[in-house]
Structure 1
């Protein structure tokens, strides 16, 4: 089930050093996550995305926090308490530190990346729970591409793409490091559509998502995201298909927007 959360986040995700014009320092977005159970799309969890400033001894960073929590009635079936967060430069959204804390039905996993841009490496720390309840850990130094980012900074960075001038069929390559592997992802622009959302009727940019040589997401026609066609580019709806089924995300509330 951890890849269900990954897929849900990814459908929200060439970022380089673009300037952040879309994401505020105090934004909160709340989504309903649904999964196809026995042919019926069922609401099973809430996904919350929050941004907050964090002061360090040297600078003010932007904390990008994503949490996934199953609704209480599903906790006895499969309890999810997942946390993904990235600490980034507030202007470029380039990551310095990434953390992932997964608790799903008794399964526990922790991942941490410290990004070292000068050497194009990440210092990786992994922790997992053994069958006897004890925790083991693994440390690695991994070489990455110049523009490789974590999943959280990627999903916020996509909102700064210049979609107003995009042509149908135009593609945007990006690379994400996840579970110590680099995933090469392509976003394809599919035009604009009107969607009815909790924020009202919105004109939206429609993007397809594919991952090269991966079973996580299959086919841009099956994995789609709609961003509002305005200066905020808020993700309002997404659908995805993975090996174990398909699901969707629907925006419920948005506050603290930049524009």
Structure 2
């Protein structure tokens, strides 16, 4: 289940320097996460994605937050309480701070990043349930981002003139390692959703080192480009994410 949400977060930008005209300060998207259990697609968790403004002493930032929570009837089977958040420049979505705090079946882990884009480094602090901490500074590339800011970045680009098959290699920092993946634009498709029938941009995600596709995402073909549906393959099965509601959209 957790890998379903994680793969959803990996569906990211086709280029790296667009300005944000799609994402506002008070957006909330809610999804149902399902997993194929013994051939039956079962709703297991709720995923929410929210944006809020944060005023610091130096600048106004945009907080990007994603939470994954199993429905109460599944907590005894495998309880999930995951939080991912990134504090970014509202225009470029360049990250400054990142926090990952997970509780998955009793396994706890917290990872914090502080980005220094001038020096191309990230100060990382990993904290476990016992309070044990490990601090490391890692080097990153010019365009490396965390997983949340990368996810939102895809929505800032003009996809209207892309040809099917257009792809882009991108880099994210996850568990202190830079991971390279390939996003491919597949074309347009109209699908039914809980918020109405939507014409969408269809995008696939795969490994940069192979042609294996691990996920497909549908983004609304409008100025907001919100994710409304996702399908994923993981080592132990398949899963889906379906939008339940959307509010506070910028456009």
Q: TM-score range by the shorter chain?
A: over 0.9
Cα distance, 1:60 vs structure 2: 0.6
Match of 1:244 in 2: 236
TM-score by length of 1: 0.93
In 1, the alpha carbon distance for the partners of 2:13 and 2:72 equals: 28
Equivalent pair of 1:11/1:238 in contact (CA under 8 Å): no
Q: Deviations over 1:58-86 (max 9, x none)?
A: 11100000000000100111110000000
What is the CA deviation profile of residues 125-178 of structure 1, one whole-angstrom value per residue up to 9, with x for unaligned ones?
Answer: 11124xxxx232111110011000000001100111221010011012211110
Quick check: 2:144–2:173 contact (8 Å CA) kept in 1?
yes
Provide closer, same or farther for how the CA distance between residues 121 and 12 of structure 1 changes in structure 2, counting only shifts above 3 A: closer
Rounded Cα–Cα distance in structure 2 between residues aligned with 1:195 and 1:4? 21
State the distance in 2 between where 1:114 and 1:3 align: 24
- Counting only pairs closer than 5 Å after superposition, residues 1-259 of structure 1 correspond to structure 2 as 2-11=2-11, 14-129=14-129, 134-213=130-209, 219-220=212-213, 222-259=214-251
Gaps of 5+ in 1: none
Find runs of 4+ consecutive structure 1 residues off by over 2 angstroms.
1-5, 11-17, 211-214
TM-score, structure 2 length as denominator? 0.96
* Residues in 2 aligned to 1:42 and 1:11: alpha-carbon distance in whole angstroms: 22
Distance 1:18 1:241 in 2: 30
String of CA shifts for 1:188-210, please: whole Å, max 9, x gaps. 01110010111211111000101
Distance 2:157 2:13 in 1: 11
How many angstroms does 1:186 deviate by? 1.1
Count of paired positions: 251
Which ranges of structure 2 fall in alignment gaps of 5 or more residues? Answer: none
Equivalent residue of 2:132, what SS? strand
Residue 30 of structure 2 contacts residue 48 of structure 2 at CA under 8 Å; is this kept in 1? yes
